[in-house]
A and B are shown apart, each in its own frame.
Chain A
Amino acid sequence: MNLYYILVFLNMILWFHKATGFYQAGGFFMIEINHVSKTFGTKKAVDDITVTIPTGCITGFIGPNGAGKTTSIHMMTGVLQPDSGSIKLNGKDISKDPINAKREFGLVPDNPDLFLRLSGLEYINFMADIYHIDTATRDARIKTLAEEFEIKDALNDRMSSYSHGMRQKAILIATLVIDPNIWILDEPMTGLDPASSYLLKEKMKEHAHQGNTVIFSTHVLEVAERLCDKIIIIDHGKIRYDGTLEDLKAQYPEKESLEDVFLEVTKHA
């Protein structure tokens, strides 16, 4: 009888943690991808992948061209509907509760050519409106980030007059202003000058350190090697590796760099 009451009490504590969100704090999973598949015609772009991405870490999502990275990101962000499986962001199912799930992340797409007819400031404020960021908060964040990324003088200009790197900065600032729990960054360093690239990496570390989640895809493996706590390698629609960088290197002790390991992993895929 005492054992029964102990078990009931433990279940209540577990339920309480899940209900109040303690479940998500430090070490719990911010992104859960369960047996997700996606087929286009006869081609299986993503084949039954199961991945969990915890809080408090930076996860690198790497793979060759056509591996299924973009498809996976599209499914994670609600752009594509998986043929099977489920995806949860901070406990919210992207298919069943899309609006609330989408509030959990901010996406920096690989192509920054968005809304070129708007000024950088107009785009950032538009995103802030969509994510319900109040005036005072957004104003303070915009001013700070614009100074840090050295784009303050250009924010009133149309994004069509920006270089590729400046557009990338404007898109990044918009994501940082809304400050979601999850950052999903698709090739975020492309076009950024060294100072901005360094600044972004510092911000990614800071965001993860605060108990949030950063997942980014990149082809520049040196950056992934220096930045990531966790690595996911995808190839031909399947997950080839999902774990820490240290464990991955331990599996291939003869390989010196992540690049060498990656080539080895994908060679046998």
Chain B
Amino acid sequence: MHDLFTLTKLLFKANYKIDIHSKKGKQSLLVGFFVFLCILPSLAMFYMFFHSAFSTLNLDLMILQLGFSITGFLVLWIALFMFPSVFYFSNDLNHLLVLPVSPTMIIFAKFIIVYISLFLTSLFVTIPMLAAYIIAGANIVQILAFIIQLPFVTLAPAFIVGIFWIIVFRFIPFFKNKDRFNLITGVISIIIAVGIGAASGLVSGTSVEDPAILLSMLQKNPETLSFLTQLFFNIPFATRAIVNISIIDLALHLVIICITGGLFYLCSKYLYLISATNAKGSVSKRNKKLKTIRQTNPFFSYLKIDFYKLMRTPAYFSNCVLSGLVAPIIMIVVFMAFPEINDAKTALASIEITQFINLPLWLYLGGLIIGFFFGSLNGISATAFSREGKNISFMLYIPFDFSKQLAAKVSLGIFFSVLSCILLLIPVHMFLTYPIYYDIAYLFGTLLASLLVNFLALLIDGIHPKTNWEDETSAIKNNLNVVFEFLASWAIIVVVCAPFFLFNIFNHLIYYTIFVSIIFILIIIIMYIFGPKLILRYLKKGI
């Protein structure tokens, strides 16, 4: 037990310790606080939902099962990605295995670390649910039973996921490649996000704040709830232990946890180590033939290398490239799933829209606004220097003009920003019928906005890059530069759109558009001329 406690403490410090006195610690706290603020509305929504359900419907058992099932899905979702990272792809295993502790201790210490994250995540659902249950008039014994169940509800799914991955990694070598794993899980995350977006579009008219509708859906489709409780087979026992204050159900719940825990122990003892020590980043293909690579212009060579780094690093590909494209894709899917689209399309097809508005102008303006919003989603320019990490000095000692290096970096960001915006033309054309060459105006707008937002992002990251990281994901996650880029884009949108509401300039739209465009072009020119010198000065100071 002493070994387990020591190991757990060590891993906890390595994974969770924040030095609140350091600049990085303060930044992490700030990011955490900001994230908490963003999540508060969701917490409130959960509370309102459960409060309405407990107060109006006398179905405590069903509501608790639903609540714990939501928790189970959340835990399952996070554990699916967290387990491999902690158990197979962390860099500490080789250091831990040489210590005089049993491998089983190492495994359980790592499990505790994963469990802490899962438990804290489950509280986002269970705490609002508990609060609602208390307000709805649960007695003290039921409340105590609820609190006792809190840590146990997430244990069984966590053990099941652990068993799943141990078996997969032991017998399916395909996933042992960390890059391949991260890429596949990144793509799956995107697909699920798109799927949820499409599903929310299909459930039209449903309000999640109205529990009666959701519950009536479940009552009409009891096999849905039955499926959920079969998937999370410990939940019926947990909920009956709370509602019926049943010691037997509590004991059965604990037995289930012991059984799943025991199976996890056996799998980890006999199957884990052999596959964990073989998991690696990339494998050698041993293609022996050295092909001749022709001399290329240094700018294109640099651009190509930057592109390869972006596309070949799963963390960057998922979080920068795919994340920037997922929003337009979700919109496309939602539009296609929207049942009334055909009716709207028919109605709009009969209207000659160019007779009512200056469509090219509005497309240009639309491109501008969309370019600022979607152009800042990918974070490629906002992490251009952060992604270099400790090798940032490479940019300073190679004999290649620094301005050209920046031009190559910003080109990537602009390319993907414009690509996101172009994808949005698909749903636009689904609604509106107009000559396709009008889209050139839209493209000009998106290009101008993408240039400005990406130059700005490059400047932000160049002045204060986050280069001290151990893992590539850390270069982009919790990187405030991405947040600043997004906030800056929104600020520009607000500033551009404010005159429409304050001064009613619709009659002078074209002049206003020209004026704003000239200002943007001037800002871009100033950043292009002075930006490299400013960034270089800050980079040299920081190394």
**Using a CB–CB distance below 8 Å, which chain A residues touch chain B?**
74, 77-81, 98-103, 107, 109, 111, 113-115, 117-118, 121-122, 125-135, 138-139, 142-143, 146, 152-158, 160-161
Q: Is B220 an interface residue (CB 8 A)?
A: no
Q: A79-B397, A117-B308 are in contact. Are A111 and B390 (CB under 8 A)?
A: yes
Contact across chains for B393 and A74 when beta carbons are under 8 A apart: yes
Residues of B within 8 A of A134 (CB): 295
How far is the CB of A145 from the nearest CB of chain B, in Å? 11
Query: Complex Cα distance A103/B283, Å?
Result: 35
Query: Complex Cα distance A109/B398, Å?
Result: 12
- The interface-forming segment of B99-107, B297-305, B345-353, B526-534 is B297-305
Contact across chains for B284 and A154 when beta carbons are under 8 A apart: yes
Query: Complex Cα distance A154/B283, Å?
Result: 11
How many interface residues does chain B have, given as a range?
35 or more
How far is the CB of A240 from the nearest CB of chain B, in Å? 25
How far is the CB of A126 from the nearest CB of chain B, in Å? 5
How far is the CB of B497 from the nearest CB of chain A, in Å? 40
Q: A126-B301, A146-B290 are in contact. Are A156 and B397 (CB under 8 A)?
A: no
Residues of B within 8 A of A161 (CB): 280-284
Q: Is B287 an interface residue (CB 8 A)?
A: yes
Chain B at the A interface: SS class: loop
Q: Is B296 an interface residue (CB 8 A)?
A: yes
Residues of B within 8 A of A160 (CB): 179, 281-282
Top 6 A-B pairs ranked by shortest CB distance? A102-B399, A129-B301, A77-B397, A117-B312, A125-B293, A156-B287
Query: Complex Cα distance A37/B498, Å?
Result: 52
Residues of B within 8 A of A80 (CB): 540, 543
Contact of A153 among B286, B301, B305 (CB under 8 A): B286
Residues of A within 8 A of B543 (CB): 74, 79-80
Q: B396's closest neighbor in chain A, by CB?
A: A79
Residues of B within 8 A of A101 (CB): 399
Contact across chains for B397 and A107 when beta carbons are under 8 A apart: yes
Task: Kindly name the residue among B293, B309, B396 whose own CB sees the greatest number of chain A CB atoms within 10 A.
Answer: B293
Query: Complex Cα distance A39/B469, Å?
Result: 25
Seed contacts A99-B401, A113-B391; 6 additional CB < 8 Å A-B pairs = A74-B543, A78-B396, A114-B394, A126-B301, A129-B298, A157-B285
Contact across chains for A129 and B295 when beta carbons are under 8 A apart: yes
Task: Kindly name the residue among B282, B295, B394 whose own CB sees the greatest number of chain A CB atoms within 10 A.
Answer: B295
Query: Complex Cα distance A200/B400, Å?
Result: 27
Task: Kindly name the residue among B282, B297, B304 whose own CB sees the greatest number of chain A CB atoms within 10 A.
Answer: B282
Query: Complex Cα distance A158/B180, Å?
Result: 14
Q: A166's closest neighbor in chain B, by CB?
A: B284
Contact across chains for A118 and B309 when beta carbons are under 8 A apart: yes
Query: Complex Cα distance A100/B280, Å?
Result: 41
Q: A118-B308, A152-B290 are in contact. Are A128 and B397 (CB under 8 A)?
A: no
Q: Is B507 an interface residue (CB 8 A)?
A: no
Q: A79-B540, A152-B288 are in contact. Are A129 and B393 (CB under 8 A)?
A: no
Contact across chains for A143 and B312 when beta carbons are under 8 A apart: no
Residues of B within 8 A of A130 (CB): 298, 301-302, 398-400
Q: Is B292 an interface residue (CB 8 A)?
A: yes
Q: Is B294 an interface residue (CB 8 A)?
A: yes
Task: Kindly name the residue among A128, A133, A152, A156 whose own CB sees the greatest number of chain B CB atoms within 10 A.
Answer: A156
Residues of A within 8 A of B399 (CB): 98-103, 130-131
Q: A137's closest neighbor in chain B, by CB?
A: B295
Query: Complex Cα distance A81/B288, Å?
Result: 43
Q: B294's closest neighbor in chain A, by CB?
A: A135
Query: Complex Cα distance A131/B398, Å?
Result: 9
13 CB-based A-B contacts, threshold 8 Å:
A79-B540, A99-B401, A102-B398, A103-B399, A117-B309, A118-B308, A126-B301, A130-B301, A131-B399, A134-B295, A146-B290, A155-B290, A161-B281
Query: Complex Cα distance A133/B293, Å?
Result: 12
Residues of A within 8 A of B393 (CB): 74, 79, 109
How far is the CB of B185 from the nearest CB of chain A, in Å? 18
Query: Complex Cα distance A103/B397, Å?
Result: 9
Residues of A within 8 A of B287 (CB): 156-157
Q: Mark B383-409, 1 if CB is under 8 A from A, else 0.
A: 000000011011011111100000000
Q: A100-B399, A156-B287, A157-B285 are in contact. Are A115 and B305 (CB under 8 A)?
A: yes
Residues of B within 8 A of A157 (CB): 282, 284-287
Query: Complex Cα distance A142/B294, Å?
Result: 13
Q: Is B313 an interface residue (CB 8 A)?
A: yes
How far is the CB of A216 from the nearest CB of chain B, in Å? 16
Query: Complex Cα distance A266/B295, Å?
Result: 48
Q: B292's closest neighbor in chain A, by CB?
A: A139
How far is the CB of B312 from the nearest CB of chain A, in Å? 4
Contact across chains for A126 and B305 when beta carbons are under 8 A apart: yes
Query: Complex Cα distance A219/B412, Å?
Result: 41
How far is the CB of A94 from the nearest CB of chain B, in Å? 10
Residues of A within 8 A of B288 (CB): 152-153, 156
How far is the CB of B393 from the nearest CB of chain A, in Å? 4
Query: Complex Cα distance A79/B399, Å?
Result: 11
Contact across chains for A78 and B400 when beta carbons are under 8 A apart: no
